[in-house]
Amino acid sequence: MQDKLNEIKAKALELISAGDTPEKLNDIKVSVLGKKGELTAIMKSLKDVAPQDRPKVGQMINDARAEIEKNLEEAMAKLQAEVRNAKLKAEVIDVTLPSKKPVIGHRHPNSIALEEVERIFIGLGYEVCEGPEIEKDYYNFEALNIPADHPAKDEQDTFYINADMLLRTQTSSTQIHAMENEKPPIRILAPGRVFRADEVDATHSPSFHQIEGLVVDKNITFADLKGTLAEFAKELFGEETKVKFRPHHFPFTEPSAEMDVSCFKCGGKGCRFCKGSGWIEILGCGMVHPRVLEKCNIDPKEYTGFAFGVGLERIALLKYEIDDMRLLYENDVRFLNQF
């Protein structure tokens, strides 16, 4: 019996040391220690052993069982540790690797330019407001002193919705809303989308953006207009920027002007950018026409004002040196990523 026991033990220990998976170890456990296992069978045959030898033999069986169990446990613990180490090794994190950057969008050049313009005028005490994109003829034309037979009203330029309603062709309409809604002093900046029946090309689009400015108060003069817009140009294009006002005509201002800035590329010497002239046209402006003030029930004898209108795309194209307006509307991320 002792030989048998030693044989079982030796075989079991050998199998255990060769067992390289938890499943194999478990099979050994069942076949040796399980209910129908070899060692269990021997335990059962203890009754055939002479009574005086039983304690000794029983002890031997128990010792063998304990040794096999101990070996099994150690082998199992070792295997599990190996499995765990292999897993840890496979999942190791190199904290020195650069992280994956989440793809976040970029601000549109129009938005960057608008924020810049707003920042400048907010700094000068202006309030930013918005007007409707769908307007009555009155706000877009009539109240702005644009007579019924004016060429700008031609259906070729204006998107009419019906005889009286249209998509605004200029943010100047916001001037009228502002003067109807508030009493002077008024100091507003009104950005927004405008619409014109234009063919798409490098400098035209049926929908683009303007930024309108309006100041109405007592004793506002052309000097205020010049000072304000010169300051704006310096903030936007650099401290050395000079401005030049050329007489122009707008129905809603008198006198009217267009403002040029000295080319910020060549400093005014003349380059490809300013087409050799040294100057770049930037905006339209003028003193609010008395008739426009009257339409809004503001007494032109008591109050005067100035207004200006800037093309937002024009600013964005100039500032970021983009040579085709269409790029601003295609929303190609490879283009937008650059800003």
Residue 266 to residues 210, 258, 277: CA-CA distances in angstroms? 26, 21, 10
Among 15-23, 54-62, 71-79, 302-310, the segment contacting ligand DAH (CB under 6 A):
302-310
Using the CB atoms, write b or e for 231-250: b if 16+ within 10 Å: ebbbbbbeeebbbebeeeeb
- Closest separation in Å from C-beta 105 to ligand DAH: 30
Among 28, 177, 308, 316, binds ligand DAH (CB under 6 A): 308
> Does residue 284 belong to the site contacting ligand DAH (CB under 6 A)?
yes
Q: What's the token pair of residue 146?
A: 């644009």
Among 110, 158, 172, 205, binds ligand DAH (CB under 6 A): 172
Strands ordered across the beta sheet of 186-195 = 127-128, 186-195, 207-217, 304-311, 279-288, 253-262, 243-250
Among 17-25, 29-37, 156-164, 304-312, the segment contacting ligand DAH (CB under 6 A):
304-312
Among 10-18, 68-76, 128-136, 301-309, the segment contacting ligand DAH (CB under 6 A):
301-309
> Does residue 253 belong to the site contacting ligand DAH (CB under 6 A)?
yes
| CA distance linking residue 154 with residue 165, whole number of Å | 14
- Closest separation in Å from C-beta 115 to ligand DAH: 21
Among 13-21, 24-32, 120-128, 278-286, the segment contacting ligand DAH (CB under 6 A):
278-286
| CA distance linking residue 25 with residue 18, whole number of Å | 9
| CA distance linking residue 322 with residue 110, whole number of Å | 11
> Does residue 109 belong to the site contacting ligand DAH (CB under 6 A)?
no
| CA distance linking residue 22 with residue 20, whole number of Å | 7
- Closest separation in Å from C-beta 188 to ligand DAH: 11
Give the binding site for ligand DAH (CB under 6 A): 170, 172, 212, 250, 253, 284-286, 307-309
